[in-house]
Chain A
Amino acid sequence: MSSVLYIRYENLYKLTMKKSEKRYTIQFIAAMLAYVVVLFVCVVLLKQFLDSWIRIPLAVAPLIPVLFGLYAFLRKLSLLDEMQTRIQYEAIAFASLATAMLTLTYGFLELAGFPRLSMTLVLPLIGFLWGIGLFVAKRRYR
């Protein structure tokens, strides 16, 4: 009896884990798609409202889908087991340190006359480096 219950519980666990993991992945992708759309609309609208106060909420509006995306990402992180958490920790540590070093280096190069780059490039840079970190960390435990 107890073993039957145990097996059921296992299947339930597998099912719910996969479902919620999938749900957060879908939420994350939806948020990123919304981000692209909102960003595009805001950039177009911004040109027409440059002398109005509306330009300020318009300029930061793309942050709203980004926050939804981060929320889904954090929920997904909370579902990870101990080894996956460790892999994420290594990847995120690598991404933060590498981003810090790259932005600091470029900041100094700007003093030497390199062109000024937009701060919005930092987030995709973190994402890119996090991907590399994840790839390397996952290989270590395979």
Chain B
Amino acid sequence: MDILITGLLLGATYSLIAMGLNLQYGVARIMNLANGEMLVAGAFAAFWVYTAQSANPFAAALFVVPGAFVLNWLIYRYLLRPLVRRAKNRGMLEVDTILATFGMSFAFVGIMLLAFGGGYFTYSYLAEPFPIFGSPFGLNRVVASLIAAVICGLLYVWIHGTRTGMAIRAVAVDPAAAGLVAIDVPRMSALSFALGGAVTAAGGIVLSTFLTMDASVGVVFTMKALIIVIMGGVGDVRGTIIASLILGLAETAVATLVDPGMTLAAAYLLFVLVLLFRPQGLFGRRAS
């Protein structure tokens, strides 16, 4: 029971990160390996707000989310757009963007090492017990997962209920066809890339309230987000949420029953199972 609830709480926060990556990969077609670094940057901002300004860490969202949005917009516009133009087909674009974002991820890690040093960062916020079904859980985890759930809900409604959201879904299905019905594909791609970055940075703030971070931990989160996106099906919001919950449960189970240092092994196990049995994802349609 403890595993179940802790896992679901963790999974809810993961869904935020995976949602960010899904917007970037599913819509903008950018396999962003620097996604985890955006998350760590958000977490560091929250850490700074809490320790140096002694304010509520969630206040960091006020400047982190718009900041990440603008930064990711600029990255897409000036670094990735040339690659999209240069690529002759989707395969080439994938190779180029993987290499470019891999380089960016190292550059970001380097910048954060310069700015914050190589130590571990953690702070204690809302670290008090909160009873669910009689067992105590960290209030920070509960608050974090609630915030994540609200943001995911808003995103879902926005994507499925507005004109812009529909345009984004159209680009996710087929960029060429979306262009034919007068959707500004480059603009929508830039928008979803920027939005994805902002959502991921928000996920970083949320995660920082209960996880310990260091400058080079980003790649682990990139990995987890990628596994979730593939498990849930690329470009599928519903699948992403369910896959996040599954990963959260699996990780918590492994951490409690085997060893807390083996969480990545749990993620890989799920990844291998998905690759072997449902490579198109839980809800994905088989590619023709």
Binding partners A and B: no
Which residues in A have some Cβ–Cβ distance to B below 8 Å? none
Which residues in B have some Cβ–Cβ distance to A below 8 Å? none
